[in-house]
Amino acid sequence: MQQAAKLMQGNQAIAEGALYAGAGFFAGYPITPSSEIAEECSRRLPLAGGTYMQMEDEIASIGAVIGASLGGTKAFTATSGPGFSLMQENLGLAVMAEVPCVIVNVQRSGPSTGLATKPAQSDVMQIRWGRHGDQSIIALSPASVQECFELMVQAFNFAEKYRVPVILAADEIVAHMRENFLLPEAGEIPLVERKKPLGDPAGYKPFQPDEDGIAPLAAYGSPYVFHVTSSMHGPDGFSNNSPANAAWRVEQLHRKLERYQAEIALTKEFDTSDLDVLLISFGATTRAARAAARLARQEGIKAGVLQLVTLWPFPEREVRALAGRVQRIIVPEMNYSGQVAGEVRRVLGSGADIRQVNKYNGEIITPREILRAIKGDVDK
C-alpha cells in the first residue's frame, strides 16, 4: 500500500472495492443508507468502461445484474432492507442458475421501512433464509471502512470462484462511517475470474460440475449457447423434473459451498490468547465488543473477541474451537431475538453459557453495555 491514507466513507470503499475487483456493471435503486454506493458508481463505473443503470425498482435491479453476469460481466447491486426484501425472488433465481453476482445489503432498522437512517443487524436470517426452497448462500460482514473495501473484493472473488451470489452484509454504521483508508495497489489483492468452458461448444453443459465441484460458465453471446431457467433443470440447463435429478441439483448447490467451507468461513480474533469470556460479534458491533474486552481486561477479566467476518455459511468450526476454552460467551447484536446468538446455541448446544446483548431501537450498542454482560449483570 503505497498511497497516503485518505478519509473514506464505508459506502465509497464498497464502490471502490467493486471497481478494484473489476466490476463492470451496477444496476440499482438508491436507498438510504446505501445510496452513496450508487452515487459513486454512477460517476466512476462509466469512466472505467463499465455501465451504471438506475432501475425502476429493486426487482428489476437484481434482474439486470443477473443478466449482466450471464453476459460475462462482474455485476452487482446495493440496497437496504426494503429493497433487499424485493430482491429475494430473483436472488433465488441467481442461486438456482448459479449466477455469480454481489448484493450489498446495508442493514437499517426495520421492520418494513422502519428507521431509514438508523443502523441494525437484523437481516442475518433473512440473508440466509429469505428465499423459498433449499439453498445455501455466502454472506460477509465488514467492521471497518478498510474491510468494506476488502470484503467487497472478497465477495466478488467468492462469487466468481464458486459461481454463486454473495451478500455483503454491511450496516448503517460502517457504511456511513469515514476512516483512514489505504487503497491497495493493482495486483496487491489477487482477483478471481469465473471458470469458462473449453472444448466443443456443442457439448457444453452449463450445470455439469468439474472435478472441483464447480461448473464452468460461458457468457451469453459467445459460441457456447446455453439455456437458463429458474425451474429444475439438468446438467444441460433444460427442464428435468426427475426425482434423481432434483436431488442431485439441490445437493450440488449445497455441497459446492460445504466443500470449500474452510476457505469461505473467515474470522478474526482479538485478545484471545488467554480467555475466560468470549465475545462473538460481527459488523460494526465488533468495535464495541473489542473496546468492551479491553475494559474488562483492565478489571482483570480475560475477555476476547471472535469476529465473524463470514456470517454464512456459519463459521461453526471457528466458534467451537474458541468456545471450548471459555466459561461464558456473549453475543452482542443489533436485533431483538439474537439471530447470531441462536446460531451459536445451535452449534454449541444447550450446555454452554451463552448470553445476549441486544439493541433494536436504532441506537448503537456501547462498550459499557457489553461490559455489564461480561461482568454478569445482564442475563437473558
Instruction: Choose between 259 and 302: whose C-beta lies nearer to another protein.
Output: 302
The nearer residue to another protein, 246 or 291, going by C-beta atoms, is: 291
Question: Which residue shows C-alpha cell 451478500?
Answer: 167
- Helix, strand, coil shares of the chain, percent, nearest 5, are 40, 20, 40
Cβ–Cβ under 8 Å, residues 93 and 131: no
Q: Select the span of 4-12, 64-72, 98-106, 198-206 touching another protein (CB under 8 A).
A: 4-12
C-alpha cell at 194: 469465473
Q: Which of 1, 7, 48, 247 binds another protein (CB under 8 A)?
A: 7
Nearest approach in angstroms of CB 16 to another protein is 16
- Could you say which residues in the range 164-193 bind another protein, by CB under 8 A? 173, 176-180
> Smaller CB distance to another protein: residue 222 or 366?
366
CB of 174 to another protein, least distance (A): 8
For residues 99 and 141, give the distance between their C-alpha atoms in angstroms, rounded to a whole number: 21
DSSP string, 95-113: HHTT--EEEEEEEEE-STT
Residues 6+ apart with CB under 8 A from 86: 57, 58, 59
Nearer to another protein, 43 or 317 (CB): 43
Any idea of the CA torsion for 225, 248, 242, 227, to the nearest 10 degrees? Answer: -10
Nearer to another protein, 19 or 177 (CB): 177
Positions in 204-223 near another protein (CB under 8 A): none
Enter the DSSP assignment of 173: H
For another protein, what does the binding mask look like between residues 262 and 301, x meaning CB under 8 A?
----------------------x--xx-xx--x-------
Distance CA 374, CA 276 (A): 10
Comparison of 90 and 146: residue with beta carbon closer to another protein: 146
- In whole angstroms, the minimum distance from the beta carbon of 160 to another protein comes to 32
**Strand-strand pairing, 267-270 and 303-308:** antiparallel
CB atoms within 10 A of CB 256: 20
Among 1, 3, 5, 325, binds another protein (CB under 8 A): 5
Q: How many chain residues touch another protein (CB under 8 A)?
A: 22
Among 43, 46, 54, 117, binds another protein (CB under 8 A): 117
d(CA 192, CA 39): 26
**Measured from the CB atom, is 236 or 271 closer to another protein?**
271
Least separation in angstroms between residue 350's CB and another protein is 32
Residues within window 340-369 making contact with another protein, judged by CB under 8 A: 364, 366-367
All three cell numbers of 196: 469458462
Separation of first and last alpha carbons in the chain: 45
Shortest Å, Cβ 284 to another protein:
7
- Is 173 or 311 the residue whose CB approaches another protein more closely? 173
- Nearest distance from C-beta of residue 110 to another protein, angstroms: 14
The answer to whether the CB of 378 falls within 8 A of the CB of 357 is yes
CA–CA dist 337, 356 (Å, integer) = 9
Cell of 172: 448503517
Q: Are 28 and 77 in contact (CB under 8 A)?
A: yes
Q: How many helices and strands in the chain, by DSSP H and E?
A: 13, 15
Site string for another protein, 131-170 (x = CB under 8 A): ----------------------------------------
- Locate 42 and state its grid cell: 454512477
CB of residue 295 to another protein, shortest distance in Å:
10
* CB-based contact 108:32 (threshold 8 Å): yes
Binding range to another protein, per CB under 8 A, among 3-11, 120-128, 235-243, 330-338: 3-11
> Which residue, 95 or 305, is less far from another protein as judged by CB?
305
Interacting residue ranges for another protein, rule: CB under 8 A? 4-7, 32, 116-117, 173, 176-180, 284, 287-288, 290-291, 294, 364, 366-367
